[in-house]
Amino acid sequence: MAKLYVIGIGPGDPELLTLKAVRIIKETPVICVPKGREEGSSLALSIVEKAVSLKGKEIIEAHFPMRKTKIQGPGSGGQGPGDLPLDPGPWPPDPDNDLDAKWDQAAQAILSKLSNGKNVAFLTLGDPAIYSTFYYLYDKLIELCPEPDMEIVPGVSSINLSAARAKISLGLADEKIAILPANYMGDLRSALETFDTVVLMKVHKVFDQVLELLKEMRLLDKAAYVCRAGMEDEKIFKDISSVRPEDLNYFSMVIVRK
């Protein structure tokens, strides 16, 4: 069996790939990338291609038809590449559904390369531990092959990038950090009371409610809104009440630092 590398390629800027990611991608003959739509091009691949030549490599594009999350309120039109593999269905997956079958196919494709002696690099946006779909695949992999030779290469996550762009520390000394990815309105008040820093992802869906709560808790001036961090149309709001509906989109987060 050859080796599987799982590589966090960072949040989008090809320069935020690590030296290790670049070296391993160069050395590995088979590259596997997740892909949201069968016709779409892979974002991960297009980022990596700007830093490493992929000429001559075998590319496995694993098709994971992501569920479209219901978008409420304004901003739903401006999601950008909203077919990113960030919302791959319920967890644990239902073994009867089509999505689970797709993960199974991908795992089998990878294992077939590995057993033919070819190393495989699976690319994932950001860091593999932070909301990466890789761990859905991992469960399938170890079902089929309990101890694969596998190395996970950490990467820069979009949370670290957003904090860097807004020049905000997420924590100093003994400060506690909470990361809330979605569906958090029920827990938000308590998290804001207990934690020094709260990171709210996918905030475009509930922005008005978040704004209302922060106002009520007198935390408005402690919050920043970072939209499309590191992209050409990045926007940073230190006054989040000035965020307009057209500034709300999938690639956005609110950081509240008390």
CB 85 to its own copies: min, Å? 11
Q: How many residues at the interface with its own copies, by CB under 8 A? A: 64
Q: Does 15 bind its own copies (CB under 8 A)?
A: yes
Q: Does 213 bind its own copies (CB under 8 A)?
A: no
Chain position carrying tokens 């992999």: 141
Which residue among 2, 3, 13, 100 contacts its own copies (CB under 8 A)? 13
Q: Does 169 bind its own copies (CB under 8 A)?
A: yes
- Asked if 167 and 136 touch (Cβ cutoff 8 Å), the reply is no
Distance in angstroms (rounded) separating the CA atoms of residues 225 and 239: 8
Q: Which two structure tokens, joined as six digits, stand for 253?
A: 């987060």
Q: Quick count: other Cβ atoms within 10 Å of Cβ 90?
A: 9
Q: Does 195 bind its own copies (CB under 8 A)?
A: yes
Q: Which two structure tokens, joined as six digits, stand for 256?
A: 């509240």
Position 212, amino acid: E
Which residue among 175, 208, 216, 239 contacts its own copies (CB under 8 A)? 175
Distance in angstroms (rounded) separating the CA atoms of residues 157 and 213: 27
Q: Quick count: other Cβ atoms within 10 Å of Cβ 2?
A: 16
Chain position carrying tokens 């860097």: 164
Which residue among 29, 45, 49, 51 contacts its own copies (CB under 8 A)? 51
Q: Does 65 bind its own copies (CB under 8 A)?
A: no
CB 19 to its own copies: min, Å? 5
Residues 126-155 that bind its own copies (CB under 8 A): 127-132, 134-136, 138, 150, 152-155
Q: Which is nearer to its own copies, 61 or 127 (CB)?
A: 127
Q: Does 178 bind its own copies (CB under 8 A)?
A: yes
Q: β-pairing, 150-153 with 4-8?
A: parallel
Q: Does 163 bind its own copies (CB under 8 A)?
A: yes
Residues 78-117 that bind its own copies (CB under 8 A): 87-88, 90-91
Find the part of the chain contacting its own copies (CB under 8 A) among 106-114, 171-179, 207-215, 220-228. Answer: 171-179
Q: Does 70 bind its own copies (CB under 8 A)?
A: no
Judged by DSSP in three states, 169 sits in: coil
Q: Which is nearer to its own copies, 238 or 244 (CB)?
A: 238
Beta-sheet strand order (sheet of 120-124): 58-63, 30-35, 120-124, 4-8, 150-153
Largest CA distance in the chain: 60
Judged by DSSP in three states, 36 sits in: coil
Task: For residue 219, give the nearest of 240, 236, 237, 242 by alpha carbon.
Answer: 240
Find the part of the chain contacting its own copies (CB under 8 A) among 103-111, 121-129, 217-225, 245-253. Answer: 121-129
Sites of contact with its own copies (CB under 8 A): 8, 10-11, 13-20, 22-23, 51, 87-88, 90-91, 127-132, 134-136, 138, 150, 152-157, 159-161, 163-165, 167-184, 187, 190-191, 194-195
